[in-house]
């Protein structure tokens, strides 16, 4: 992902979001096997294979909140650096 001409590692951000969502909803981190199954596939589709709709949506919500907050912090840092 490129934000303000800086290449950011979106894979690590996605993994951290996934970890956060799992920990918040399931009380555990995803296994390496679960991470591997997510590569190259739409996360909502995979989650609905693993969990019921309500649980899948709860995890996705937490991931989105984490990712939004992380991006907001990154963008605020970029704006601060440009001043």
List, for residues 29-54, the tens digit of each pLDDT value. Answer: 999 999 999 999 999 999 999 999 99
The yes/no answer on whether domain 2-82 falls in CATH 1.10.150 is yes
| Full-model pTM | 0.79
Helix/strand/coil for 81: helix
C-alpha–C-alpha distance, residues 53 and 7, integer Å: 34
- Each residue of 53-80: pLDDT tens digit? 999 999 999 999 999 999 888 888 766 5
**74 or 7: whose pLDDT is higher?**
74
The structural domains of the chain, with segments of one domain joined by +, span 2-82
Give 9's pLDDT tier (boundaries 50, 70, 90): low
Rounded-to-integer distance, Cα 31 and Cα 40, Å: 17
Q: What is the DSSP annotation of 8-57?
A: --HHHHHHHHHHHHHHHHHSSPPPHHHHHHHTTS-HHHHHHHHS-HHHHH
């Amino acid at each position: 992902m490129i934000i303000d001409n800086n290449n950011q590692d979106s894979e690590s951000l996605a993994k951290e979001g996934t970890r956060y969502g799992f920990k918040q909803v399931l009380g555990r981190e995803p296994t390496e096997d679960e991470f591997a199954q997510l590569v190259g596939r739409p996360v909502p589709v995979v989650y609905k294979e693993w969990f019921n709709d309500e649980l899948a949506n709860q995890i996705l919500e937490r991931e989105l909140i984490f990712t939004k907050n992380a991006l907001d912090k990154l963008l605020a840092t970029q704006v601060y650096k440009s001043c």
